[in-house]
Amino acid sequence: MTVSGLKNWLLWAAIMAALILWFSWGQRPTMVGLFIASGLAVGSLYALGGIGIVVLFRATGVLNFSGGAAGAAGAMTAWQLETWGLWPPLAWLGCIAVALAFSLFYGRIVAPRLAWRETVVKAVATLGYALIILGLVSFLWADDPRSISLPTDGVGIRFLGMRLTATRLLVFAASIAIVIGIYFFLARSKVGLQMRSLADDRDLSALIGIPILRVETIAWGIAGVLAGFTGLMFADLIRLEASVITFMVIPSIAAAICGRLENLTVVLVGGLSMGVIENLLTLSPLLRGVRPIAPFVIAALVLLWYQRGQKLTFGGKD
Amino acid sequence: MLDVQQITVRFGGVVALNAVSARFDKPVSGIIGPNGAGKTTLMNVLSGFVSPSDGAVDCDGQNLLTLAPFKRPHWGLRRSFQKEEIADDLTVFENVLVQIDHSPTGPLSKHEEVTKMLDYVGMSDRANKPGADLNSFERRLTDIAKCLVGQPKIVMFDEPAGGLSVDETHRLGALIKGIHALTGAQTLVIDHDVDLIQQICAEALVLDFGKTIAFGATNDVLADPKVKAAYLGTEEV
Amino acid sequence: MVNTLFRVTPSGWAGMACLALAIFIVPEIVGTRWLSVFTSTGCFALAIAGVAFMYARLGMVSLTQVGLMGVGGWVTLRLNHAFDFPFEVNMGIAALVTMICGWILALPALRMRGLYLALVTLMAAGGLEIMFATFQFPNGGDGFWGVQTGSSDPFRRPWLAQSPQAYMRYVFVCVALGFVFIEIHRRLKPGRAWALIRRSEAAAIAAGVNVTLYKTWAFGIAGLLAGGAGALLAGSLGLLDDGTFRASESVMIFALAVVGGARYWYGAILAAVLFRVLPALLNNWGVDADLSFVIFGAGLLHAVITAPDGIAGQIRDALLSRRKGANSGKGGADA
């Protein structure tokens, strides 16, 4: 790691420690611990969303705004299937399947028509797709309050004197496992290598014979599965409401920005930190009401930090 | 006189330019070398798009590297790119006008200046044509006119003859040769067309893999065995 | 030089005719319910003009324009209830405050490549939605946030425009002024700088253009117009609610700006009509208004893939090719 990279990590650690100390002043440690734990769970979802965005962006050049919408469609499908009496694990599979289907449809049918356009245009198109999905979901399911629950919600695990919901642990563990899995996938597998090649230089990759369509389909597939999982978890932990889940793409983007749209570890850490800080803000009576904007503020500050000393509007990797 | 001193550029682990030095004092100088030699990178350093990790650039007492990139044109630096960057939405006249939009002179004198340079390159009859309607030679001519307005001190062309026919290249050469008499500016030209370089450049810098392999009068440089080896390749010189 | 600034294009004449129609004919023939729909359409047209020109001329995507309208509306309402300034002063201050807020929100992205602006403004839209939901809009109460329970205090409309018809005319005139404001910029130095930036930021820098300044300026104009639009909307409704300024609305009007045709003033008007009138029509016909999301999203995809200049562009092409067809009889020199 470079010296400046190390300095950034130390700065992050120092700031996080300071913030945690600040918010937990005068509070019971176990309560603070609970807030941090549930913050890690929500942050894992932000990180997973961010990871989906980054992996897809690097492999295809498309910044996908519709991941949240696909997840929302999946979560609503799972709810519907459970309501109709289907065995829950099949309903969850249904969720993933629906999100995957939306993702693959875009990746195979729509995205190739925009393959040679600018990055901004490709991103704008996914916005249109997100609106379509959101409209369909809102149309099919009326605006009533709903909830979805997983068997792990009722299971508690004792850790350091705190009782943590198994779902939260599951999400946190999953996010770390997925990051490690994707890391090894990209680094060790043949498809992963092809994906990295595509991310590095698409035209050159086509010239040396990399099967672009196949690799991109796999990338869209991974994004779809991640979106489905994240949507389901979000529905369980936060709220099962189409527009809320659709716009969870916003904190996912915030996490992705922390990693400069390329570094998965930083996306993970960024997402987790955002979740923790957002949850810790509940302890502050002054800022409690606006804590959902925490990811945005953090991402904005991180972006400004990355830009310090930069003179040009282009050039360099960004 | 443009004095390039020990310019070194690193992109991660790759050394794109390695302590390149040259003193350009002829009216038209060439920068040549095989692909990937670092010629465009050198121009990018002069333009300010790339920061060198070492070295300095001085022109008649002005340290260029301390100027912000968008201020160098105000000082007198001009640059054209491998692909002619002419805005489709603007007319030929407006495209050239942008270059001196920010100089302190009044609108009438700017108008005259643009007309004069369009005359020089032969585009004044098409001054109101929108950029989208131009063919590639017309775009190149507009590019050149843009480089000549507003008292330039250094004009840089990056492969200006790319994609031009033999006649068009001749015309281009004549225009470039006349720049010094018209504006007093020094010109740097990167190109692969060795005939063009021989015709118009009194001196040339040859780069290969980021290093200077020769610098001097064009004919001497082109006869240098090291230069021939770089272009054609031999086992060892 | 002077004659290029004051030259009126055919499009400009059409615009003036349209304005005349809107001011003199429309208020007479329209019933009261549609009056308020058209007035709010006008307000959104002004905001859409800001978003559209930024995208068409500079490739900059702002996904927070309705959120910025909310800022403008908030400031207008707060000033209205706190002080006794005339409406125009409130609107002016609101526009300036919105411009500055826009700059602050977009600051992290203005020096990075275009994609980041879309990302940052989307996050800003989410942030603004939460702020409005938490703090609501001023309605005459005390304190900084100015919210009181119960009914809201009255809103003072412009002296010239007290009645609904007069206010609608007022809004239409403001919209026209907004278009003229953008067009003046386009014909002078900023327009040339923007066109070159659109082509290539490197080429713009090489031409001595301060790219960051001009991008910031463009965003500032968008913010100014959004603030003005929000002020006009506040004046039209007398009070505002947070549901109008959600993040999804900002995304929608960007989508519609592209669908309508981001390069042309009539595209912005078309977009505003689609935004405001279509859902109302769907409701009239008994169709779920959620389907408007689907229609607009599909429209955006279609526009991006096949018709980059939107509906307005297609209309323009059709008109121009008909004119070329009519001229080709005269010797066919220009075919």
The pLDDT tens digits of the residues spanning C129-164 come to: 999 998 888 888 777 888 877 777 888 888 888 888
Q: Which domain holds residue A170?
A: 41-306
Split at pLDDT 50, 70, 90, the class of B235 is low
Q: Contact A312/C205 with Cβ under 8 angstroms?
A: yes
Q: Which residues of B touch C210 (CB under 8 A)?
A: 70, 102
Chains with 3+ CB–CB pairs under 8 A to B are: A, C
pLDDT for the residue C333: 43
Which three-class secondary structure state does DSSP give residue B5? strand
Phi-psi region of C147 (alpha: psi -120 to 50; beta: other; left: phi over 0): beta
Q: Do C196 and B85 touch (CB under 8 A)?
A: yes
Q: At what angle do helices A212-237 and A88-105 cross, to 10 degrees?
A: 140
The rounded mean pLDDT for chain B is 90
Residue A317 included in any domain: no
pLDDT (tens digit, 9 = 90+) per residue, A264-289?
A: 999 999 999 999 999 988 888 888 88
Q: Evaluate whether residue A148 is within a structural domain.
A: yes
Q: What's the number of domains chain A is made of? A: 1
Judge whether B70 is closer than 8 Å to chain A, CB to CB: no
Q: Could A312 and B50 be called an inter-chain contact, meaning their C-beta atoms sit closer than 8 Å?
A: no
Quick check: A189 pLDDT over 80? yes
Does residue A206 belong to any structural domain of this protein? yes
Contact, C276 vs C44, CB < 8 A? yes
Q: What phi and psi, each to the nearest 5 degrees, are found at residue B207?
A: -110, 150
Chain C touching partners, 3 or more CB pairs below 8 A: A, B
Predicted pLDDT of residue C2: 56
Residue A17 tokens read as: 């420690």
Average pLDDT, chain A: 88
Note whether B14 contacts A: Cβ–Cβ < 8 A. Answer: no
C61 touches chain A (CB under 8 A): yes
Task: Work out the average pLDDT over B161-178.
Answer: 92
Contacts of C109 in chain A (CB under 8 A): 303
* Residue range B134-153: mean pLDDT, rounded: 93
Search chain B and give the residue with CA nearest A312: B49
Task: Evaluate whether residue A276 is within a structural domain.
Answer: yes
Listed in sequence order, the residues at least 6 apart from A177 whose beta carbon sits closer than 8 Å to its beta carbon are: none
Q: What is the pLDDT of residue C335?
A: 36
Task: Please say whether the beta carbons of B69 and B48 come within 8 A.
Answer: yes
Judge contact between C204 and C33, C-beta under 8 A: no
Residue A168, domain member (yes or no): yes
Contact between C123 and A292 under an 8 Å Cβ cutoff? The reply is no
Please answer yes or no on whether B71 and C208 come within 8 Å at the CB atom. yes
The pLDDT tens digits for C73-132 are 999 999 988 888 999 999 999 999 999 999 999 888 888 878 899 999 999 999 999 999
Asked if residue B127 lies in contact with residue B118, where contact means CB atoms within 8 angstroms, the answer is yes
Pick from A113, A135, A247: CB nearest C247: A247
Residues of chain A with pLDDT > 70, as a percent, come to 97
Amino acid symbol at B146: K
What single-letter DSSP state applies at residue C25? I
Kindly report whether the global pTM for this prediction surpasses the value 0.95: no
Band the pLDDT of A131: cuts 50, 70, 90: very high
Looking at chain B from residue 45 to 84, which residues have their Cβ under 8 Å from any Cβ of chain C?
Answer: 47-49, 69-74, 78-79, 81
What CATH number does the domain containing A273 carry? 1.10.3470
Give the per-residue SS3 of chain A. CCHHHHHHHHHHHHHHHHHHHHHHCCCCHHHHHHHHHHHHHHHHHHHHHHHHHHHHHHHHCCCCCCHHHHHHHHHHHHHHHHHCCCCHHHHHHHHHHHHHHHHHHHHHHHHHHHCCCCHHHHHHHHHHHHHHHHHHHHHHCCCCCECCCCHHHHCEEEECCEEEEHHHHHHHHHHHHHHHHHHHHHHHCHHHHHHHHHHHCHHHHHHCCCCHHHHHHHHHHHHHHHHHHHHHHHHHHCCECHHHHHCCHHHHHHHHHHCCCCCHHHHHHHHHHHHHHHHHHHHCCCCHHHHHHHHHHHHHHHHHHHHCCCCCCCCCCC
Could you tell me the domains of chain C? 2-327 (1.10.3470)
Q: Strand, coil or helix: what is B19?
A: strand
More confident residue, A309 or A115: A115
Given an 8 Å threshold on Cβ–Cβ distance, is C112 in contact with A313?
Answer: yes
Q: Which of B72, B88, B111 sits opposite C1 (nearest CB)?
A: B111
A7 within a domain of the structure (yes/no)? no
B86 at C interface, C-beta within 8 A: yes
Q: How far is B229 from chain C (nearest CA, A)?
A: 34
Minimal Cα distance from B130: which residue of C? C195
pLDDT for residue C332 is more than 60: no
Buried residues in C125-139 as b, exposed as e (16+ CB within 10 A) = bbbbbbbbbebbbbb
C205 and B69: CB-CB below 8 Å?
yes
The closest alpha carbon to C71, from C49, C104, C36, C118, belongs to: C104
Query: Can you name the residues that pair with C114 across neighbouring β-strands?
Result: none
The model's pLDDT over C29-81, given as tens digits with 9 standing for 90+, comes to: 777 778 888 999 999 999 999 999 999 999 899 999 999 999 999 999 999 88
Residues of B in contact with C209 (CB under 8 A): 70, 98, 101-102
User: Is residue B72 within 8 Å of residue A312, measured between CB atoms?
Assistant: no
